[in-house]
Amino acid sequence: MLTKTEAIKVTQDVLNLSPYAETEVALSSHHQLLTRFGDNRITQNVVRETLSLGIRANHRNRTARLEIDQLDTESVKSAYQRLGGILEMIAEASSPPALYPPGDYYPEIKRNPIRGLTSEQAAESVQRAVAAAKKGRFLASGIVSSDCQCLVLSNSKGLCLSDEISDSTFTCTMDGESGAARGYSFQADPNRLEVDQAITQSIKKCGRAQNPVSVEPGFYDVVLEPAAVAELVVFLGWLGLSGKAYLEKRSFCTGKLDQEILAKNVSLADDPLHSGIIRSNKNMV
């Protein structure tokens, strides 16, 4: 995966090759790892690196865009030639979309550089889970994943926006003779996954799940784990916690602006620039 500095340089080099006065370049460099394990052994390991370069040009009241996955000079020049052919074929527009100018109204995003997990790191995490499972006479299964992406958007007006985003997951399910339990860790930075904590969590819960007993039907106090609460909040988002849903009157919050609609001990805040957010602005480009 390209670093932010390398990615910015690529976009500037591509802009310098443009024959058009108004050009926009969007670069995405992506690293993905996924390791699955079950029955105390690794069953799948996939590592993939992808690159996408989008080029958009405005010319004679026309705009066109294409994508390539090669960054060498000849490939970029060929892309501009194909873009020219597209621009010649399409009809003129009364008001083609303008390029965004630079300015101080774009929020500054500060994150530490992040690198994705290696297969060796994933295998080491699985090894620790399997060792704990064998000690407790359980079977371990789960996944280790990391997803890192560098994004840059630059144009001929001087705009240059960049970000490095990521998310990672470690889940571990322990299966016993009469019950199973799961431990988990989700982090923006793959190298901060709390693997041992997730393994310990699943081992303890699986131990308590053995030899279950019946209880009488009734009402019981339940404490939800963070992952369960997150799942509920995600559904709330789908059901209308967005500005668009509010304006289109599809949200359960419609008409209730500035009103208190939750219990006093519940607060929800939307902060896409939070340093610990997972998959922030994934579709920036």
pLDDT in tens, 14-34: 999 999 999 999 999 999 999
Judge whether residue 282 has pLDDT over 50: no
* For the chain, domain boundaries: 4-211
Q: Please say whether the beta carbons of 132 and 199 come within 8 A.
A: yes
Q: What percent of the chain has pLDDT over 70?
A: 93
What pLDDT was estimated at residue 275?
Answer: 62
Rounded distance between C-alpha atoms, residue 85 and residue 101, angstroms: 27
Superfamily of domain 4-211: PmbA/TldD superfamily (3.30.2290.10)
The residue ranking higher by pLDDT, 124 or 258, is 124
What pLDDT was estimated at residue 109?
Answer: 67
What pLDDT was estimated at residue 267?
Answer: 83
pLDDT in tens, 216-266: 999 999 999 888 888 888 888 887 788 888 888 888 888 888 888 888 888
What pLDDT was estimated at residue 285?
Answer: 33
What pLDDT was estimated at residue 277?
Answer: 63
Model pTM score = 0.79
The residue ranking higher by pLDDT, 80 or 245, is 80
pLDDT in tens, 137-160: 999 999 999 999 999 999 999 999
Largest Cα–Cα distance of the chain, in whole Å? 76
Angle at 126 between CA 123 and CA 127, to 5 degrees: 85
What pLDDT was estimated at residue 278?
Answer: 59
pLDDT in tens, 156-206: 999 999 988 888 999 999 999 999 999 999 888 888 999 999 999 999 999
What pLDDT was estimated at residue 269?
Answer: 78
Judge whether residue 112 has pLDDT over 80: no
